[in-house]
């Protein structure tokens, strides 16, 4: 190990080589298929545990909100779903970019399989948002800035999925939808800003602070637990869908025939 002067970080080359080898191997569909297969059970059980803890904490343990009573408990699925819908879109655009530039097939697979999960999160956010709006604002749908942005995000997802399925050739479809995702990800902040600007222009800023000036700890913990649970759930189902997609794309190769007929 080289002597490390203060302030200079020498990452031993063995680690970078092993890291690079890992990513390189990850690009090979078969290795990805097997690795994903091993990970899915672990991630699955992790999700179940986190969900149980989060739901218990959020629905049973957390105190009622001084303003809204128990109606606020919807945030434990509304807020994580909103965060996840945005996170998945950015991840999808990133995977698409990698697939587009370095032509790594697995990146295209990940990008394609992200979309339906992200869309379901966006849809969940909208449903819970409107159900939460009824007790709070009196109507199921109010053109609130965040809800409108979420609705537009759902349209972006649907546009992505529609384009991906409209083009027959699998590789062209992946590359075309990657470009769309990149254009979309550039537009998301613009749309978000313009909708906020439009909202404040017409209705003035709605003062809504989550559970009073500062959210109390026993509300925050379940929220973080649920957010982690959503993230883990997303990766689990992403790997499950990705494995199927890999099987379909590599249908001609021998290892797929072997794994398919062995069961």
Partner 1 sequence: MSGTGPLGAAGAVLRRDLTLFFRHRSDIINPLLFFIIVVTLVPLGVGPEESTLRVMAPGVVWVAALLAAMLSLEGIFRSDFDDGSLEQLVISPQPLALLVLAKVFAHWLVSGLPLVVLGPVLGASLFLPDRAMGTLVLSLLLGTPILSLIGAIGVALTVGVQRGGVLLSLLVLPLYIPVLIFGASAVSSAAAGLPVIGPLALLGALLALALTLAPLGAAAALRISLS
Partner 2 sequence: MTSFHEFIHMGGFAFYVWTSYAIFALIFAWNVFQPLFHQRRVRERLARRSRGMPR
Partner 3 sequence: MGRFRPGAETDRFGIRIAASGNGVHVTLCRPGRRPCIWLHLATAGTVADKATVDDRPEIAALARRAPRLEARALECVRNDRVLFHDLDAALEPGQVLQVEGPNGCGKTSLLRILCGLSLPGAGEVYWGDAPLPEVRAEYYEALAYVGHRHGVKGELTPIENLRFHRALAGGTPDRVPGDALAHLGLEGFEDVPCRTLSEGQRRRVALARLLMTRRPLWILDEPLTALDRSGVAVVEGLIRDHARSGGMVMITTHQAIRLEGCVLGRLRLGG
Q: Which residues bind partner 3 (CB under 8 A)?
A: 103, 168-171, 251-252
Residues 6+ apart with CB under 8 A from 17: none
- Binding partner selected for residue 163 from partner 3, partner 2, partner 1, none, CB under the kind-specific 5 to 8 Å limit: partner 1
User: Measured in Å, how far apart are the chain's first and last C-alpha atoms?
Assistant: 48
Q: Whole-number minimum distance, CB 15 to partner 2, in Å?
A: 35
Which residues contact partner 2 (rule: CB under 8 A)? 59-61, 64, 69-71, 73-74, 77-78, 81, 117, 120-121, 123-124, 127-128, 131-132, 134-135, 233, 237, 240-241, 243-244, 247-248, 251, 254, 256-257, 260-261, 263
Contact segment (CB under 8 A) with partner 1 among 61-69, 117-125, 184-192, 219-227 equals: 184-192
DSSP per-residue codes, the chain = -----TT-----HHHHHHHHHHHHHHTSHHHHHHHHHHHHHHHHHHHHHHHHHHHIIIIIISPPBTTTBGGGGGHHHHHHHHHHHHHHHHHHHHHHHHHHHH--HHHHHHHHHHHHHHHHHHHHHHHHHHHHHHHHHSSS----HHHHHHHHHHHHHHHHHHHHHH-SSHHHHHHHHHHHHHHHHHHHHHHHHHHHHHHHHHH------TTSSS--HHHHHHHHHHHHHHHHHHHHHHHHHHHHHHHHHTTTSHHHHHHHHH-
Query: x/- binding map, residues 135-154, to partner 1, per CB under 8 A?
Result: -----------------x--
Q: Whole-number minimum distance, CB 148 to partner 1, in Å?
A: 9
Distances (CA, A) of 260 to 28, 32, 105, 250, 263: 18, 16, 20, 11, 6
Q: Whole-number minimum distance, CB 1 to partner 2, in Å?
A: 46
| Of 133 and 159, CB closest to partner 2 | 133
| Of 131 and 260, CB closest to partner 3 | 260
Q: Whole-number minimum distance, CB 259 to partner 3, in Å?
A: 18
C-alpha span between 112 and 170 (Å, rounded): 10
Please pick, from the candidates 20, 197, 208, 255, the single residue that binds partner 1 as defined by CB under 8 A.
Answer: 197
- Binding partner selected for residue 179 from partner 2, partner 3, partner 1, none, CB under the kind-specific 5 to 8 Å limit: partner 1
- Binding partner selected for residue 170 from partner 2, partner 1, partner 3, none, CB under the kind-specific 5 to 8 Å limit: partner 3
C-alpha span between 192 and 43 (Å, rounded): 32
Q: Whole-number minimum distance, CB 194 to partner 1, in Å?
A: 4
Q: Whole-number minimum distance, CB 48 to partner 2, in Å?
A: 11
- Binding partner selected for residue 237 from partner 2, partner 3, partner 1, none, CB under the kind-specific 5 to 8 Å limit: partner 2
Q: Does 101 bind partner 1 (CB under 8 A)?
A: no
| Of 57 and 184, CB closest to partner 1 | 184
């Amino acid at each position: 190990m080289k002597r490390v002067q203060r302030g200079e970080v020498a990452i031993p080359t063995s680690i970078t080589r092993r890291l690079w080898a890992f990513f390189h191997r990850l690009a090979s569909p078969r290795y990805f298929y097997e690795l994903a297969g091993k990970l899915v059970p672990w991630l699955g059980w992790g999700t179940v545990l986190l969900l149980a803890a989060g739901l218990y904490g959020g629905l049973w343990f957390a105190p009622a909100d001084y303003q809204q009573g128990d109606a606020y408990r919807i945030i434990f699925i509304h807020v994580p779903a909103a965060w996840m819908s945005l996170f998945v879109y950015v991840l999808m655009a990133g995977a698409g970019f990698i697939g587009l530039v370095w032509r790594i097939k697995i990146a295209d697979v990940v990008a394609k399989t992200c979309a339906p999960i992200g869309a379901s999160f966006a849809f969940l956010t909208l449903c819970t948002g409107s159900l939460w709006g009824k007790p709070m604002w009196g109507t199921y749908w109010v053109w609130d800035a965040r809800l409108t942005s979420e609705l537009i995000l759902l349209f972006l997802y649907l546009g992505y999925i529609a384009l991906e399925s409209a083009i027959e050739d699998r590789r062209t479809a992946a590359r075309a939808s990657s470009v769309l995702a990149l254009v979309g990800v550039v537009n998301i902040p613009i749309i978000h800003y313009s909708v906020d600007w439009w909202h404040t222009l017409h209705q003035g800023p709605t003062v809504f602070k989550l559970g009073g000036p500062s959210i109390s700890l026993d509300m925050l913990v379940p929220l973080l637990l649920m957010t982690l649970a959503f993230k883990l759930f997303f990766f689990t189902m992403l790997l499950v869908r990705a494995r199927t997609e890999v099987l379909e794309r590599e249908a001609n190769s021998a290892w797929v025939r072997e794994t398919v007929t062995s069961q």
